[in-house]
Chain A
Amino acid sequence: MRYSVFSLVANALGGHRGWPRAWRDPQPKPHYDVVIVGGGGHGLATAYYLAKEHGIRNVAVIEKGWLGGGNTGRNTTIVRSNYMIPGNTMFYERSLRLWEQLSHDLNYNVMFSQRGQYNLCHSPASLDAARLRGNIMRANGIDAELLDRAEVMRRLPYLDYSPNARFPIIGALFQGRAGTARHDAVAWGYARGADMNGVDIIQQCEVTGFLREGGRIVGVETTRGPIRAGKVGLAVAGHTGHLAAKAGLTLPIETHVLQAFVSEPLKPMIDTVISFAAAHFYISQSDKGGLVLGGDIDGYNSYAQRGGLPMMEHTLASGKALIPALSRLRVLRQWAGVMDMSMDGSPFICKSPIDGLYINGGWCYGGFKATPASGWCFAWTLAKDEPHEDNARFTLDRFRRGVMIDEKGAGPTPNAH
């Protein structure tokens, strides 16, 4: 059913007993045109755009747990498009433009809030780098503003500007169209939209292997039996390497664990998103009042969806160094997700070397903001067997060809991206 003010009023008068399920819970069929492995934002968005943009509706999304139970529900909900390396810039801007229309497009409120995002600068060199980044963004039609220290002090008065500050704040690169979105709603909205277009969403169904004929992959083995498919797309975030290994592929990916934290609820304090570049710390405030914050990955390979205390201490210390007022705040919740850290910090949306298998992965820290464009470009690649211009550089062979997309310039060190 379409949600509207009329459906809301009608169901309010009916005591909210008349709402139907938002999506079906079908049995898997023996064959689909396309099977997407992974029922997170990226997989569901891919299925939605396959049906909506390309008319491919005989599609299944297979999820081993529950929808959005992986990294879609484990991130810090930040959305931005401040990338400067060709290949990334316009991809993330496509994503931001899709975000701006997403609630209307899906008829589902993803609570996208364009509250802006500040990347703080702490040295003349970092301010120069921010100026370069901002100029590249503006040359590509993306909004960016370089702010000096006085303007940052006026806008964010609660940061530490004292002589004792761990890193002096001398300016910031601000993107006003950046912001946050409600991450669960993104998974649910795409699931509902895909389902309304005929996509089967199959939860509690783990892929255990691949069906092969000749050299080609023609389906998946699952805990609910084999499912044949014309094409199989992987959108499994931190498990990309694990599943690709079942197909016999070794990828330029390491899986690492990243934590996030929510404080006890506060009155409105931080009305934007702040990234503390020197310590790699980022913070915003949720609509419920909790401060949502995160930092670095723990730094060692991990598929465990939980992090350790050293990184928790480091992240909270970074927060206090930036905002001294946090010192007596208590952490309410902490969790972790497993990231597919690629060797240059940029993703893959491409055909794999095996016919019939397509890969969407390598999202590192940045998967949530990419969700709409990732699904849009992966659907394009699956439907047309060739990449869209915006994901043409996200290939697996870019390392072999020497055209890495290394936004941070950190080299092939996944735990440094």
Chain B
Amino acid sequence: MLRINCPVCGLRDESEFSYGGDATVMRPAHDETSADVWHDYVFLRDNPRGPHREYWHHVQGCRQWLVVERDTLTHRIGGAVLACDGEEAR
């Protein structure tokens, strides 16, 4: 069982959360017209073997989206911050 330290609710079980994928993927600007940029955003992932910044939705808790640092090789979880804190979260 992964346990994530939610900044709002404290240490909670993985089963309260829903996974939201790689948090380093940035949505292009709305007026972006390059198909390559949109292709990379929608389909390509760095998929690192090691530290990974990722979204988790505390869907059965405070319903906040978090950015969590987790190691994909060891499952060790580092810090978690609110995704709505925007650039400060990264």
Interface residues of chain A, those whose CB is within 8 Å of chain B, are 239, 241-242, 245, 250-255, 299-304, 308-310, 343, 399-400, 412, 415
Contacts and interface: CB of A to CB of B under 8 A. Distances in A.
A303 B42 contact: no
Given A241-B47, A250-B44, A412-B43, A301 B73 contact: no
Interface string B17-53: 0010110000000000001100110111111110010
A308 B15 CA distance: 10
Contacts of B48: 242, 245
A400 B73 contact: no
A301 B22 contact: yes
Given A254-B21, A301-B22, A301-B52, A308 B47 contact: no
Contacts of B73: 303-304
A342 to B, nearest CB: 9
A302 B75 contact: yes
A299 B75 CA distance: 13
Contacts of B35: 400
Given A303-B49, A308-B2, A343 B72 contact: no
Given A242-B49, A250-B46, A310-B14, 9 more contacts: A242-B47, A250-B40, A252-B45, A253-B45, A300-B19, A303-B49, A304-B74, A308-B1, A400-B35
Contacts of B45: 241, 250-254
Nearest to B44: A250
A310 B19 contact: no
A301 B47 contact: yes
Contacts, number: 70
Contacts of B21: 254, 301, 415
A108 B65 CA distance: 53
Contacts of B70: 300
B12 to A, nearest CB: 13
Interface of B: 1-2, 13-15, 19, 21-22, 35-36, 39-40, 42-49, 52, 54, 70, 72-75
Contacts of A343: 42-43
A255 B48 CA distance: 9
- Greatest chain A CB density within 10 A among B2, B36, B72, B74 is at B72
A239 B72 CA distance: 12
B19 to A, nearest CB: 5
A255 B39 contact: no
11 contacts: A241-B47, A245-B47, A250-B40, A253-B45, A254-B21, A254-B22, A254-B45, A300-B70, A301-B54, A400-B39, A415-B21
Contacts of A301: 21-22, 47, 52, 54, 72
A310 B52 CA distance: 21
B54 A310 contact: no
A298 to B, nearest CB: 9
Contacts of A299: 19
- Greatest chain B CB density within 10 A among A300, A302, A308 is at A300
A46 to B, nearest CB: 23
A253 B47 CA distance: 7
- Greatest chain B CB density within 10 A among A242, A245, A303, A310 is at A303
B74 A255 contact: no
A345 to B, nearest CB: 13
